[in-house]
Structure 1
Amino acid sequence: MSNASIDDGPILLDHRGALRLITLNRPHLRNAIDVPLRTALAEAIEAAMDDDIVRALVITGSGGAFCSGGDISTMDPLTPDQVRTRAQAAQRVVRAIWKGAKPVVAAVEGPAFGAGAALALACDRVVAARDSSFGTTFTAVGLAGDMGIFASLPARIGVAAAKQLLMLPRRIGGEEASRLGLVDSLVDSGTALDSALADADRLVQGPPLALAAIKSQLGTPERNRFDVLDDEVENQVTLWQSDDFAEGVAAFRGKRTAHFRGR
């Protein structure tokens, strides 16, 4: 195994032969996603998909957390064009996962909230610890969601249940996440990465062309996933300009309850 990671970078890369391990590396913020992390993650996934040696990917987080969501501390007022660029950087990550022919496994320990939940659900397989937790918490800051959540969540649990989790978000423990279908494999605390790597090793041994065909054939629900990504970008652009979004961010920073007014 060779390690090509940079300790203070937004991601860590482990080259394990035919397996590529990508680790979100902002443990001090529970791996909250900012623009540099989005860019680095997209580039890492694209590079792995283009690498003939790689046959499976694993995505995880450092410091006992998968990803706490978007980094609210970086959510300052932006112009519509700036928001569109920011949102498209997030969608680039999901496009890389969905367009790539190689299977991607998420290894979830700790929280997977907001964009973190969306990132996990965008993967082909989700392995999670029993004490992990999920939450589609976008509305807490007046946003609706992105990173493919409007395709991946209903594909896993149905439209009606997805609507409830997005409109009335709550913390969902690993056991319930497994029952709902958010998680494919539930494992003991501290073993999610090892279990995901074992699954990825099995995928590495599988027939690449057949796995790519399965991923392609089952990757398109009734509505094209990439149309969903485009719509999510436009929603982000509109909502980012709203007073509700400004109030949501201010409330988060002030550690108080947000008061949304629908404008």
Structure 2
Amino acid sequence: MSEKPANPGNASASIEVSREGAVAIVTLNNPGRRNAMGRQMRQSLRDTMHRLLSADPESRAIVLTGASEHFCAGADISEMTQRTILQSREILAESCVVVHDMMAGAKPVVAAVEGVAFGAGLSLAVAADYVVAASNARFCAAFLRVGLIPDTGILWTLPEKIGMAHAREMLSLAVEIDGVEAAEIGLANELVEPGAALGAAIDVARGLAELPPLGVALLKAALTDGASTMNAALRTEIDYQPVLRQSRDHQAACRAVFDRSKPVFTGQ
């Protein structure tokens, strides 16, 4: 399935959606520009991710990848000089929706990174729950190279993921690191050979899709919005755990322990 923006500035750019069982694969499809995103492509990504995360019962996990050899080169620079301040604010607000949906949405998101993940492309990768990176993938917060501060949520997500010291270096110096270093500092969860990221990401997503959906959803919500301090985390536990203890999935898991069987989770 292909979702192209209405009246696109780049007619070849689109968001492609395919499926592997309960795994939805979302592909940033603008290979001629290393999958750089113009505004309307971002809007398509926002709408696609929102639908998959909140209104698609067939998918239990999502893989985000890029077409051809690259993940995403970030924003389409050719559009940047054409925007007013108001338009820029609107675009950033749209990008914020994508990141928040990825992080707090009900389903796990796995990023499969080959080639470049620059600028907003890096921001998308960091917002995923799990990152599979090819050893020769290249990561760079390239915002300052074009006179901008980092955006698309990365001011918060990158320090949370790799720590403030590494994040300051990447954000302030716009240094480029490869997949090997990304794995060493915790930016990538899994390192694979070039060309193997998508297959490995689908394997991870299949495993995540077998987990209890309600538990996954509440865990993601808790980690994103409910655990900023110790007291907040404890309050979140008190709010969420009793609900999960009453779920059919929890009861099925308890029965499976005694039966020595594998539970089937339904999200109830």
TM-score normalised by L of structure 2: 0.78
Indicate the residue corresponding to 1:37 in structure 2. 41
Q: CA deviation at 1:214?
A: 2.0
2:136·2:194 contact (CA, 8 Å) conserved in 1?
yes
2:71·2:117 contact (CA, 8 Å) conserved in 1?
yes
Indicate the residue corresponding to 2:127 in structure 1. 122
Indicate the residue corresponding to 1:243 in structure 2. none
Indicate the residue corresponding to 1:222 in structure 2. 228
1:171 aligns with 2:176: yes
Q: Which has the higher contact order (CA 8 A, sep 6+)?
A: 1
Q: CA deviation at 1:75?
A: 0.7
1:22 aligns with 2:26: yes
Indicate the residue corresponding to 1:90 in structure 2. 95
Q: CA deviation at 1:6?
A: 6.0
CA offsets, 1:210-232, max 9 Å, x none? 21222222224639xxxxxxxxx
Radius of gyration: which is bigger?
2
Find the aligned partners of 2:32 and 2:22 in 1 and give their Cα distance: 30
Equivalent residue letter for 2:34: R
Find the aligned partners of 1:97 and 1:11 in 2 and give their Cα distance: 16
Q: CA deviation at 1:77?
A: 4.3
2:104·2:220 contact (CA, 8 Å) conserved in 1?
no
Equivalent residue letter for 2:15: I
CA offsets, 1:113-165, max 9 Å, x none? 11100110001110110110100110011111111101110001112321121
* Residue of 5, 14, 33 corresponding to 2:2: 5
Q: CA deviation at 1:78?
A: 2.7
CA offsets, 1:170-220, max 9 Å, x none? 110110011011100111110000000000011111111121222222224
Find the aligned partners of 2:106 and 2:52 in 1 and give their Cα distance: 10
1:137 aligns with 2:142: yes
* Residue of 63, 69, 73 corresponding to 1:64: 69
1:73 aligns with 2:70: no
Find the aligned partners of 1:214 and 1:174 in 2 and give their Cα distance: 27
- Name the CA shift for 1:75/1:187 in 2 (closer, same or farther; >3 Å): same
Report runs of 4+ in structure 1 exceeding 3 Å deviation: 6-9, 220-223
Indicate the residue corresponding to 1:183 in structure 2. 188
SS at match of 2:2: coil
Answer with 194-203 or 95-104: which moved more: 95-104
Equivalent residue letter for 1:78: R
Gapped regions of structure 2 (runs ≥ 5)? 5-11, 230-268
Q: CA deviation at 1:86?
A: 1.5
TM-score normalised by L of structure 1: 0.80
Indicate the residue corresponding to 1:48 in structure 2. 52
Identity of aligned residues (%): 41
Find the aligned partners of 1:196 and 1:120 in 2 and give their Cα distance: 12
